[in-house]
Chains A and B, each alone.
Chain A
């Protein structure tokens, strides 16, 4: 198993010596799973201890109302003065 050819068979995406270094991380291919099948409990869906809301913590809204609204309001007023001054 320690010979060049079978090693290649094991790691098809291994970079050839003459390739650019960045090719080394070109391993973006979907891999064969080590097992053929698995029960649903071993799948991603039920990951997380709370039985039915496993996926709810994965995505969040894209806006954020908490972050320094006061600050923004102040900055906006200052900027508005400048805009009006230059208008």
Chain B
């Protein structure tokens, strides 16, 4: 009888300690740094023929760990599948001909299925072991992504003239398969009716987050709605979000924010993203940067505010992404704004923030027209009264403002109708208050510091 190496004692200790994270660490497909040979010695300890017997003996022989028979059998099944998967991984590492990431993914999927059976079947693996579900799901997703890449590279090598549409459908075949299995994990957590203390409901946010990431990756953001509906339908039976670890809730709120964002529900998006921003660990630079990538366009749309230097300072990439645009908005520089939009277009489109940023043009325009109003100065003050700003402004003044900064040569005259159209648009959107007196060619702006609501004038 060979030994399972360091895996068996690690399993026993985790079980005896009742530690989910320790147990999950045993089920990772990566050897721990203190025992880099663990996977290999585990794989070499048995053969397919004797695997179940060897596992039963290795994991449960002795007096230290006493589990019900069904629970033991479930773990033997899980580790048998794990053993097969490790075999595929080692074949890849050793570059054995025929080894493939696709085979690793298929083998790992069986680990996931064995685990799901262990929870849902008669064995009833206890809920404290839930981190295993997340870990196995997480690596399944990683293997699926790499399997899809492998399939794509083989496809492009073997069938150079493959139909583009077919290629597109199959591009994510493995990841879509992974999504289906993770979805079963999600249901497994959500539908558990055990008392809360020992419920798999505690795994719901981890599984949801994993599915969010997966649906985003396969471009099926619409499917996230089903998850949100399911969660909200059983919200009465779920522990409140505040009692979950912040890592899970911050991730969840980030994705919910982005989902609303993509639906152009910027107010709701802002709410969720702000929550994620405030709770996010301050050293998680990458995640903070991602939250801001969406929170900044939200702020522009909902409150018309811009990020300060202090906010962007730690994020050079965001500084580059948003600074030129912000400067043009603040200055009311439309030409510069259009230039910054077209310079950043590829990046904006890729990050899916083009649409809300484009709305910044209205704010830039508002700022330009506001400067026209300020430049108009004051009417003659009436006896004993403080001066009042000139609230009747000629359309030509706004037209002239639109031409400032544009190169005069070869620039077509700005049509007055067009200016009136821009003005009525701003009035309609509540960015300006007043009316157009067309017959006189003037704009009559609201008096008493409300011509440009919210800006102090």
Contacts and interface: CB of A to CB of B under 8 A. Distances in A.
Nearest to A33: B247
Interface stretch (B163-171, B229-237, B249-257): B249-257
Given A5-B104, A30-B254, A57-B308, A76 B374 contact: no
A25 to B, nearest CB: 9
Contact of A18 (B89, B153, B397): B153
A27 to B, nearest CB: 8
Contacts of B217: 29
Interface in B290-312: 290, 293, 299-300, 303-308, 310-311
Contacts of A28: 290, 293, 351
Contacts of B366: 63
B367 A63 contact: yes
B36 A76 contact: no
A50 to B, nearest CB: 12
7 contacts: A4-B93, A9-B29, A42-B281, A43-B279, A62-B363, A79-B400, A83-B396
Nearest to A73: B375
Contact of A58 (B21, B308, B414): B308
Interface residues of B, number: 82
Given A6-B93, A62-B329, A69-B374, A33 B403 contact: no
A43 B283 CA distance: 8
B438 interface: no
Nearest to B371: A72
Contacts of B401: 76, 79
Interface string B268-302: 00000000011111111011101001000001100
Contact of B30 (A1, A35, A47): A1
A5 to B, nearest CB: 4
Interface residues of A, number: 54
Contact of B287 (A13, A30, A37, A62): A30
B246 A1 contact: no
Interface stretch (B118-126, B142-150, B192-200): B142-150
Nearest to B346: A22
Interface in A39-59: 40, 42-45, 47, 55, 57-59
B330 A63 contact: yes
Given A1-B33, A64-B331, A79-B403, A37 B375 contact: no
A63 B404 contact: no
Ordered nearest first, which 6 A-B pairs have the shortest CB separation?
A37-B245, A79-B400, A33-B247, A3-B93, A59-B305, A80-B400
Interface of A: 1, 3-6, 8-10, 12-13, 16-19, 27-33, 35-38, 40, 42-45, 47, 55, 57-65, 67, 69, 72-73, 75-76, 79-80, 82-84, 86-87
B304 A47 contact: no
B47 interface: no
Given A65-B374, A69-B375, A82 B404 contact: no
A70 B332 CA distance: 15
Contact of A61 (B141, B282, B455): B455
Given A32-B138, A75-B404, 8 more contacts: A8-B146, A30-B213, A31-B286, A44-B278, A44-B281, A59-B311, A62-B363, A69-B371
A73 B397 CA distance: 11
B251 A30 contact: yes
Contact of A59 (B279, B299, B367, B374): B299
A65 B392 CA distance: 21
B152 interface: yes
A43 B280 contact: yes
Given A1-B31, A43-B278, A60-B306, A30 B247 contact: no
B341 to A, nearest CB: 16
Nearest to B396: A83
> Which of B30, B363, B408: most chain A Cβ within 10 A?
B30
A83 B331 contact: no
B403 A82 contact: yes
Given A9-B29, A12-B145, A84-B396, A33 B305 contact: no
A10 B284 CA distance: 18
A59 B303 contact: yes
Given A29-B213, A62-B304, A44 B282 contact: yes
B101 interface: yes
